[in-house]
Amino acid sequence: MSDLILETHDLWEEFSEKKILNNLSFKLKRGSFLSVVGENGVGKTTLVRIILGQLKPTHGTIKFFPNRKSIRIGYVPQFRNIDDEYPLSVKNFVALSFSGYKLPWLSRQERQQLKLVLQETDLEKIANEPLGRASGGEKQRAYLAQALAVRPDLLILDESTASLDPISKENLLRLVKKLNVDTGVTVLFVTHDIPLAKQFSDEYLLLQPNGYEVGPIDQLQVADYEGGQHV
């Protein structure tokens, strides 16, 4: 009798005669932490784009509860182009998230929200430093903070840890897990790192070239998934 945040039914996507995702039907529980795993090109990012509404599925449906409008999604994309001359400070980068056709300056409530999210992601110390000169781990935290600034119900991380060293990876995930437990934000974590997935998530969704598997994370067999062995 669990409370769902989204459910897909018989989903697939066709790209130039290639079928991605195999009649995927899965349920995502509110407040859960799901790891999405599978080899390169199997359709993880495609699934994320369908959830975000950037891509219409060729077949099947996706339902949000109570409805799409009332679900806020925070998304940390797989690729980002921030070079070392990037001028904005960490704080101002995070604040970009407060978009919409509103007054140019932030409201008091937005400023408080900004402060809080910088605290949560441990970015207060470097809040006024330019993002271009932050380390890889700090950048990832800033991306996370930007996604969190709008107080999402669902947080989607697409391989956000791929370029980090083991310790920074764990720190970032520990942070996400803490927010997941404390605030109840649902997490969808796309990763190739099986040990990390096992350490932090509740459930897994394994996408395969001709099928898929879902289950509690402790049932995920490393042998099911070859991609995890690659660097």
Partner 1 sequence: MFSFEFMRNAYVASTIIAIVCGFVGVFVVSRNMPFLTHTLSEIGFAGASFGMFIGITPLNGMLIFTVISSILVGKMGTKSSRRENSISAISGLFIGLGVLFLALSNKSASYATNILFGSVVGISQSDVNQMVILSVIVLLVLLVIYRNLKFDSFDPVGAKAQHVNSGLISIIFLVLLALSVSVAAQIVGALLIFILLTLPAASAKYFSHSVSKMIALAVVFGLIGVWLGLYLGYITNWPVSFFIATIECSIYFAALGFNRIMQN
Binding residues (CB under 8 A) for partner 1: these are 52-54, 75, 77, 79-81, 85, 87-89, 92-93, 96-102, 104-105, 128-130, 143, 146-147, 150
| Comparison of 139 and 192: residue with beta carbon closer to Mg ion | 192
Beta strands in 38-119 (DSSP E): 59-64, 73-76
Question: Of partner 1, Mg ion, ligand ATP, none, which one sits near residue 89, judging by CB under 5 to 8 A according to partner kind?
Answer: partner 1
36 lines the binding site for ligand ATP (CB under 6 A): no
Nearest distance in Å: CB 97, ligand ATP: 24
| Comparison of 20 and 94: residue with beta carbon closer to Mg ion | 20
Scan for tokens 């997935």, then name that residue. Answer: 197
54 lines the binding site for ligand ATP (CB under 6 A): no
Which long-range CB contacts under 8 A does 82-89 form with residues at least 24 apart? 82/131, 82/132, 82/139, 83/132, 84/132, 84/133, 85/132, 86/130, 86/131, 86/132, 87/130, 87/132, 88/130, 88/131, 89/127, 89/128, 89/129, 89/130, 89/131
For 112, counting Cβ atoms within 10 Å of its Cβ (0-12 exposed, 13-18 middle, 19+ buried), the class is exposed
| Comparison of 77 and 132: residue with beta carbon closer to Mg ion | 77
| Comparison of 119 and 128: residue with beta carbon closer to partner 1 | 128
Residues that bind ligand ATP (CB under 6 A): 15-16, 20, 38, 40-46, 78
Residues that bind Mg ion (CB under 5 A): 44-45, 78
